[in-house]
Each structure stands twice: as C-alpha cells, then as structure tokens.
Structure 1
Amino acid sequence: MIDVVLKKGKEKAVLHKHPWVFSGAIENVKGKPVNGEIIRLLGNKKDFLAYGFYNDQSRVAVRLLEWNEEVMVDEAWFRTKVREAVAGRAHILEDGTTDTCRLIFSESDYLPGLIVDKYADHLAVQVLTSGMQNAMPVIIDELNTLLKPQSIFDKSDATSRSHEGLETTNVLLSGNHPPELVMVKENGISYGINIAEGQKSGFYCDQRYNRQALANYAKGKTMLDCFSYTGGFTLNALKNGAASVTSVDSSALALETLEENIRLNKFDGAEHAAIKSDVNVQLRKFKEDGAKFDIIVLDPPKYAPSRSALDRASRAYKDLNRLGMQLLNSGGLLATFSCSGAMDMETFKQVLAWAALDAGKQVQFIYQFHQPEDHPVRASFPEGEYLKGLLCRVW
C-alpha cells in the first residue's frame, strides 16, 4: 500500500477524524497511486494516521475512510458500512406512510462520494469520487442482497465529478429500467418520480419533515410555492386544506409531474395554478400586479457551492427574500431555505435581516427547519449540515 505523508503540523484535522485532506497539506507521496486507490496516510514522523482514497486531480487529495490501522478497508469493510447505513433508516419506512428516503449520505455515512436514495422498490445512486467508483461493484452487490430492488440507476451527472477526473453518467446499473414515473409515498402523499430525467437523484427527500411542519399553517391560507419542483410543499399544503396554492418553477417537466401528482392524490378540486417562469422574474411580476399571499415558500437551488461564492450568494438570497417579503400579507409567513453548505444559519439570519430592512418589513423567526435524520451530520464533518431554513412572520 502506498504511503502519503503529511506536512508537519497538518495532522490535527485528521486526528479529529475529519475525512478530508487537502492537496496543500501533503509533503510527499511514496510511489504513484492510481486515482481512487486506497493509500496509507502518515504523519510527518511517519506514524500511521488513517486509510483513505487518493486522487491527485482533486483539491481534496485524500478522503479518509478508516483510522484503525488493524482494520483493513476491503470488500467486507464496504459491505459493513452499507449495511449499517441501511439499517439506520429502517424505522423511517416502518409505518407505510413513507417509502422513500436517503439510504447513504456520503461522508456522513463513512462512504465519501456515495449517495443512495430509495424510491419505493427502486434505488438511485450518485457516485462523486473516483475511490467510490472503484468500489461500486461491491456496493451494488450488497444493495441487491439487502434490498432486492427492481432497479439501481446511476444518476452521477453532477459536474463535480470532473474534479475527480470522472465523466458524468446516467445509466442503469442493475435490474430493469425504471418506469417513466416511479410511484412513491411520503407523509401519506403519493408522488410520481422521474428517476432517469429528474433533478439530482429524482426527488428532494431532505424536505420531508419541513413540508409537513409548514402544512400545519396552511389551512384556509393562500400559498405561493417558489422553486416548487414536483410539488412537495404544494401537495402537503393542499392536503391540509390550503385555500389556494400557486406553484412556480422554471422546469416544464417538473410542473407536468406536479400536475400529475395533484391528480394522483385526488386534489383536482383544489384551487391550484402552476406557472413556468424564472422565480425572480415572476416575483417582480406579482409585485407589479399587486398580488399578495398568506404563505410564501422560497426553496432555491444552491447559490453558494463554496465559501468563495458566499458574498455573491448572500446578495442573491437577500434579493430573493426581499421580493418575497414584499408579497406577503401583514403577519404572513415566509418559509425560506438555503441548501448551500457554505451558508451557516447565523449568516442566513443576517441575510434575512438585511432583506427585511430593504423591504421595509419587521420579521420574527418563529421556527428553524433542518435536514432530516436520513441526512445525518457527522460530528467530525460539520460540512454535512447543508440544509437550513427559517419560518418567518413578516409584518
């Protein structure tokens, strides 16, 4: 096994079990490891620190896996990690009202670069690191053994794969090709999920509890659901008796699926409008038209993919939330989210304070939204906490 030696003074994060070693922390590499190969990480005094995946094309040159020198990272190691992750989600699916969740969440489940989502009897995977790409035959075999899914579909189409020297892919790995719409349940609501062509792995199960929490406020209210995708917040609000919901998204496919989901749940009689538009453009149009709502949901895509983009992202979040605040009835509710790991909660609150000032509004933070338990945050890897949100009362 090839040794990678750290520079003097760079051991602290590794000793604290953080799973990333940046290229700038490496003193030398004893040999020529192939990208994705498992290496042995040593301190500057040649003491063993951990085993990890190596990749000289990535800024994160080593992704750590195991800190016990006596425990080899072999086929059995990967199978154990998969079994532990799947077992930790079993209770989410027990009562039958939900059959979709995230089974494996990358570094937070000790499998860096691997995401696995369960959609009823189908699995969607995303592989973001070269090391995990090498381990996929074992991973697929173990998932088939444990769950016997009808299909395992590879949705590794993230551009971040290029940082590891990997091409994007969108192919069937195992079983039969999933149907155009896979039918799933979440919180007792039915959804049709387009695994092959949908965003990310097909569905955003990280908002499961947040959708339910917001729906508790929706009875008899008018709601605007921005970046609605296939209607998670929309459907929960309609189920809970919202007077009307307007859904805005730039994807025609997402809105077509949303409309089908409304019919699927027999919400056809509810007052609902779907608008295909850029959200920022549509919010300005609503303002020009004098439209007002009781509840507004703002769940945008990731504006800050890295800390270097945080200032620009903060301005984008501020402008978006200012527009939303201006469209609320007095005392209305703004449910606003950030899925940018670089944006911490305190910074997000400050951005909302600036938005309120610009909008001429007073804001109370009345509830904090979080990612659910199938998106755990590892104590030694706080970067895994990416989703945060606030329910704001706006005056």
Structure 2
Amino acid sequence: MTQTIALQINNQFAGPLKKGYPLISKDAVDARKLPAEEGALLRLLDIHKKFIGTGYYGLQNKGIGWVLSTDPEEEIDTVFFAKKFKKAIQNREAFFNNPNTTAFRAFNGEGDGIGGLTIDFFDGYYMVSWYSEGIYSFKEAVYAALSETVNYKAIYEKKRFDSKGQYIEQDDFVMGTPAEFPLIVKENGMNYAVNLNDGAMTGIFLDQREVRLAIRERYAKGANMLNTFSYTGAFSVAAALGGATKTTSVDVAKRSLSKTIEQFSVNAIDYEAQDIKVMDVFQYFKYAQRHNLKFDLVVLDPPSFARTKQMTFSTAKDYPKLLMDTIAITEKNGVIVASTNNASFGMKKFKGFIDQAFKETNTRYKIVEEFGLPKDFRVSREFPEFNYLKVVFIQKLN
C-alpha cells in the first residue's frame, strides 16, 4: 500500500499549483515534513487546509515531485495510468498512422500528466524512461496500464536517477519479444539505426526530428556541412540525403565513428565519401582555423555540460564563445544551426547569447528559422519553461 501524507504548501507556491503548474518545488514545502521514502503520495493543501492536488514524492533536478491529479477522489492506480496513456496515444494518432516516421515520443512526462516519466515509440517497441525513484515505485501499475493500452512487440526501460549516491543510466528488457538490434526506424523517410539495449542513449535524439527535416529540405543542397558534437551523425545523414556536397562529423567519443558509419550505411550513403573525426570539438575549431577550413552549414548542438582534459564547458556560460569559434569557420551567407536543450534558460536569453557572439566578432546576421519541441513532445502552453529545446537557424551575412 502506497503511503499518503498531507503536506502544506507554502503560500507563494500555492497559486501556481492551483492554476495547473505541475512541478512541486523543494522550496514549496517544509523539508522536515517530507516522507522518509520516495514514492509516497502527497495530498497537497494550502494554508487554509484546502485541497490543491495529489502528487508524488520523487527527487530529481527539477524539484521534489509532480502533481498527478486535482481530483480529491481520484486514486493513483493502474486505472489512472491507463487513462493518461490512452489520452496520450489518441493525441498522437497521426504519428502512429504515418508510415514515413516510425519513431517518436508517445508520452511526454508532465506534458501528458505524469512528470518524471517518458515513453518513446520505436516501430512497435516502447522505451520507458524513469527520472526518479519516486515514479519508479509505481512501475507495476505503469506497466500493467501500458500493457492494456498499447500493442507492443517489446517494452524496454531506462532508469535515469540517482540511487544511493550513484548516478544510474541503465537500460533493460522488460517484457514482450526482444528486438534484434540495431533496429531500423524511419523518420520522414530517412533511416536511423537505434539500439534500446546498449547503454544510456538509443542512437537518435527524437526531439530534433523537425530540425533534421529542415536541414534536408532547405539547407543541405550543395553545402559543405560541419556537424559538431555529432553523436551518431544523424544531422549529417539528413544533410547528405538533402544533397550536401560533403559532411564532416566531429565528436570526441570513440564509438561515434562506428555509430556514424552505421547511420550512413543504413541509408545507402558511401561513408568513405564523408569525413568522420573522433576529436574534441574545441580542438577541431582550432584545427579548422589553422587550415583555413570554411563551411556553408554548421550544426552546433553541444551537451548542456561537458568536461575534457583541457576544459569544462557549460552552455549557460560558454555558448557565446562557442558561437564565436563557429562564426570564424562559417562562409559568408552560410548558416549556423545553433541548438541547446538546457532548460535553465529560455529562448530570449539564448538569442542574447547569439547576439553577443555576432557583435563581439563584428559580424552581421539574420535569424531565418527557429524551433522548439515537436508536437509529440507535448508541453503546456501555460508553462513554456518545460519546452526546453531551443534551435535557431542563423545566416552569417558578412
């Protein structure tokens, strides 16, 4: 039986929660009143003891838990989870019926009503990601609800939370018939190889689907393209299929070489005609400047935080410098695709970084397109801060 405790919300935080804000901030409650174990249900009350909502206690970097229901009579059980899943699947009917795209987000955490839980669809296979011990304590009800809601070939899971001081990013087969990997999925007609049972990542970031399509359709033709922090080369594949004369993919991870070759190969692209470098991106910028290399199209999608032997990088403080390095190796009228998934700042601040970099290099620019999360990554219009993805296509004018 899941423990339920009454918890009074500090007055300044009660208003947003009553209006539908789903995150329970650590400052919203008296920490001494929190339960000993994650997974407890929280009956949230205002200072007048009036009911606000039912949430769960689960620690993650965003807060101490999430509101699940504003109905005081609603039970948090298999029926509850099944109702949320069914609504999410209905909202994505167009995705499920699109044969040209067979990989997308089927359930997006707080955007679909359950913060801390996401579910991705890969051509009949589902991957459930858990972001706290608190939500993971409901796994039996979640899997029972998912089993009765969708037809699946198999279900996999990834636990992405801190357990006893050790950060865990692992995956595991849960139920069904195991897939043979790599699994080939389609995205707007392009092929991508994914692996749901091999470490923290799958091989493709699904939230960049619209950006890859834009690159293929509107920016790649005839371009000499540089893809930095390239991971498995997904942007490079889109550019090559869009008619780029050449792509260069740069990532410091050794396995990026074989993974990028794999992505080119499943699209029948001659990977030997492309350039794939296992190299620190920051060192590559210096290399490119020394050799006077210039590119028509540059994708800049760094991790929010990275540490190398030489330096520590954070998008929140170092993105302007990274952009300045990029501007130096971009051709006149070339396009920089500047991207970040750092949720700690919004699009306005990100555009400030862009403006700072161009001003400091005395370079004129024009923003030609911008993107946030695609429709399958549902977020509430009332709370745009949960739309973490910021992508800006910038044309260098001189």
TM-score where L is the length of structure 1: 0.90
2:370 aligns with 368
Q: Is the 8 A contact 2:170 2:199 kept in 1?
A: no
Letter of the 2:242 counterpart: N
CA shift at 1:318, angstroms?
Answer: 0.9
Instruction: Give the alignment partner of residue 251 of structure 2, picking from 227, 249, 256.
Output: 249
Q: Is there any run of 5+ residues in structure 2 with no aligned partner, and where?
A: 307-312
- Which moves more between the two structures, 195-204 or 74-83? 195-204
Cα deviation digits, residues 206-247 of structure 1 (max 9, x gap) = 011111112222111111111222222111111111111111
SS in 2 for 1:207: helix
1:175 pairs with 2:192: no
Q: Is the 8 A contact 1:287 1:327 kept in 2?
A: yes
Q: 1:184 to 1:358 in 2, by over 3 A?
A: same
SS in 2 for 1:161: strand
1:60 aligns with 63
Instruction: Give the alignment partner of residue 103 of structure 2, picking from 94, 100, 103.
Output: 100
Q: Is the 8 A contact 2:25 2:63 kept in 1?
A: yes
Q: Give the whole-Å Cα distance in 2 for the aligned partners of 1:23 and 1:142.
A: 29
Identity %: 26
Cα deviation digits, residues 1-52 of structure 1 (max 9, x gap) = 4211123443112112111222332258879564211121111111111001
1:210 aligns with 211
Q: Is the 8 A contact 1:48 1:69 kept in 2?
A: yes
1:344 aligns with 346
Cα deviation digits, residues 326-376 of structure 1 (max 9, x gap) = 101111111110111112111111111111123332111111122111112
Instruction: Give the alignment partner of residue 131 of structure 1, picking from 134, 143, 150.
Output: 134
Letter of the 1:195 counterpart: L
Instruction: Give the alignment partner of residue 334 of structure 1, picking from 319, 333, 336.
Output: 336
Q: 1:295 to 1:264 in 2, by over 3 A?
A: same
Q: Is the 8 A contact 2:256 2:278 kept in 1?
A: no
1:14 pairs with 2:17: yes
1:308 aligns with none
Cα deviation digits, residues 62-102 of structure 1 (max 9, x gap) = 42111122333222111111111122222123231110001
Q: 1:61 to 1:329 in 2, by over 3 A?
A: closer
Cα deviation digits, residues 245-296 of structure 1 (max 9, x gap) = 1111122323312212212211118831111111111111111110011111
1:197 aligns with 198
CA shift at 1:120, angstroms?
Answer: 1.4
SS in 1 for 2:42: strand
Q: Give the whole-Å Cα distance in 2 for the aligned partners of 1:49 and 1:90.
A: 32
- Which moves more between the two structures, 355-364 or 271-280? 355-364
Instruction: Give the alignment partner of residue 79 of structure 1, picking from 53, 78, 82.
Output: 82
Q: Give the whole-Å Cα distance in 2 for the aligned partners of 1:252 and 1:59.
A: 31
Instruction: Give the alignment partner of residue 272 of structure 1, picking from 271, 274, 290.
Output: 274
CA shift at 1:153, angstroms?
Answer: 1.6
Q: Is the 8 A contact 2:116 2:135 kept in 1?
A: yes
1:233 aligns with 235
Q: 1:320 to 1:58 in 2, by over 3 A?
A: closer
TM-score where L is the length of structure 2: 0.90
SS in 2 for 1:170: strand
Q: Is the 8 A contact 1:130 1:164 kept in 2?
A: no
Letter of the 2:44 counterpart: L
- Residues paired across the two proteins, number: 387
Q: 1:262 to 1:57 in 2, by over 3 A?
A: closer
Q: 1:315 to 1:10 in 2, by over 3 A?
A: closer
Q: 1:107 to 1:163 in 2, by over 3 A?
A: farther
Q: 1:62 to 1:255 in 2, by over 3 A?
A: same
SS in 1 for 2:162: helix
CA shift at 1:110, angstroms?
Answer: 0.8
Q: Give the whole-Å Cα distance in 2 for the aligned partners of 1:269 and 1:258.
A: 8
Instruction: Give the alignment partner of residue 318 of structure 2, picking from 308, 316, 319.
Output: 316
